[in-house]
Chains A and B, each alone.
Chain A
Amino acid sequence: GAGVSQSPSNKVTEKGKDVELRCDPISGHTALYWYRQSLGQGLEFLIYFQGNSAPDKSGLPSDRFSAERTGGSVSTLTIQRTQQEDSAVYLCASSAGLAGGPVSTDTQYFGPGTRLTVL
């Protein structure tokens, strides 16, 4: 079946430009997550959407980063005035989510990521 998709797969931009990264979660998944991974590093949590609840933005590194999730499905991560330190792979994941119960069995599935390079 269709998994999580992300676009673009690669993005090269100049310092100071804005970029938008897109994530299409698995159909029916109510939870969506954004992470970033710098070369040789672990995953850094950015933001988490769960259904219609207010997103958990606690991982966003600065106010240059924002994300939206429209209609409970597709999400866009926007980075304004990009800096060289923003260069990383941005990974999106989705999971079935709460569905009214505890999440003890919830599992994340990752998209292939967007490799962002800021020159």
Chain B
Amino acid sequence: RKEVEQDPGPFNVPEGATVAFNCTYSNSASQSFFWYRQDCRKEPKLLMSVYSSGNEDGRFTAQLNRASQYISLLIRDSKLSDSATYLCVVNIGVWGNQFYFGTGTSLTVIP
């Protein structure tokens, strides 16, 4: 079983739509959680960390459900510029990092 699993998509949504991605992780001792964004032929860039209480950054909301071992990313009012691959990342390390990446969910926002 993979440490981190994501629906690869692709998700094709119209501008202005709300879209949600889920990611599940297998290790209940996972310490920290992130969403990264990767544009085509570019490096991954941190979108946001995910906190237990949930957190919001503008149109983006991240949630963590430790009991069910999943994290989610909600994008409201989608923009064309949101088109990218969204990577779910989990760190299971405590005294040393062990980052695991999902294979990514592809989003295309259509005019």
Which positions in A face B, CB cutoff 8 Å?
A: 31, 33, 35, 41-43, 45, 48, 50, 53, 56, 91, 95, 97-98, 102-113
Contacts and interface: CB of A to CB of B under 8 A. Distances in A.
A112 B101 contact: no
B43 A91 contact: yes
Contacts, number: 62
Contact of B99 (A33, A41, A97, A109): A33
A53 B96 contact: yes
Contact of A98 (B32, B34, B46, B96): B96
Interface in B45-79: 45-46, 49
Given A42-B101, A95-B97, A112 B42 contact: yes
Contact of A106 (B87, B91, B103): B91
